[in-house]
């Protein structure tokens, strides 16, 4: 466990929790990234403005962090940047994740953070399904195929 970062992880988790709580408190909306992104692309109910601002804030926040604290993106000594997968495999994986979020009516931010914190049975089942499917997929691709 050479990359164990309990302090940074706790601060990150608290910030995510505060952001989700603020979104719910001030707008009455669930912070589900896939739904927000889809709504920005489709212009759901003329609400594209705040949705684009939200998604843009995620991108700009990451870029600012990269500029101000590049060490946050540094890999451990000797770790390759390569995922070991082809660009095509990563692309197909991304499409499957998108399909899964549509099929599951949300993603791990909406179900895993917002839904579980509200004790939503549907979200608990969805999150367990997401995580189990991910674990099985990694096992199959790394140890079986």
Residue 3 gets which letter from DSSP?
T
Note whether 37 and 51 are within 8 A (CB).
yes
- List the single range of 18-27, 101-110, 133-142 with lowest mean pLDDT: 101-110
Of 103, 112, 92, 89, whose CA–CA distance to 33 is shortest? 112
pLDDT, tens digit, for every residue of 23-72? 989 988 888 888 888 888 887 767 878 899 999 999 999 999 999 988 87
Note whether 34 and 110 are within 8 A (CB).
yes
Q: What residues have CB less than 8 Å from 2, skipping those under 6 apart?
A: 76
- Per-range mean pLDDT, top range of 80-84, 86-90, 131-135: 131-135
As to burial, measured by CB atoms within 10 angstroms (0-12 exposed, 13-18 middle, 19+ buried), residue 24 is: middle
Note whether 34 and 107 are within 8 A (CB).
yes
Distance CA 32, CA 3 (A): 28
**Length in residues, the chain:** 145
Predicted local distance difference test score (pLDDT) of residue 14: 93
User: Given its phi and psi angles, is residue 45 left (phi above 0), alpha (psi -120 to 50 degrees) or beta?
Assistant: left
């Amino acid at each position: 466990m050479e990359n164990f970062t309990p302090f940074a992880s706790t601060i990150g988790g608290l910030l995510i929790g505060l952001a989700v709580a603020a979104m719910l408190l001030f707008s009455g909306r669930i912070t589900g990234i896939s739904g927000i992104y889809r709504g920005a692309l489709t212009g759901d109910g003329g609400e594209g403005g705040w949705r684009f601002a939200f998604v843009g804030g995620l991108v700009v926040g990451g870029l600012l962090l990269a500029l101000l604290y590049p060490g946050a993106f540094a890999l451990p000594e000797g770790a390759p940047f390569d995922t070991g997968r082809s660009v095509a495999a990563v692309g197909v994986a991304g499409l499957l994740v998108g399909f899964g979020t549509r099929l599951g009516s949300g993603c791990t931010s909406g179900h895993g953070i917002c839904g579980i914190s509200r004790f939503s049975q549907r979200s608990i089942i969805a999150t367990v399904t997401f995580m189990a499917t991910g674990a099985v997929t990694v096992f199959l691709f790394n140890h079986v195929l």
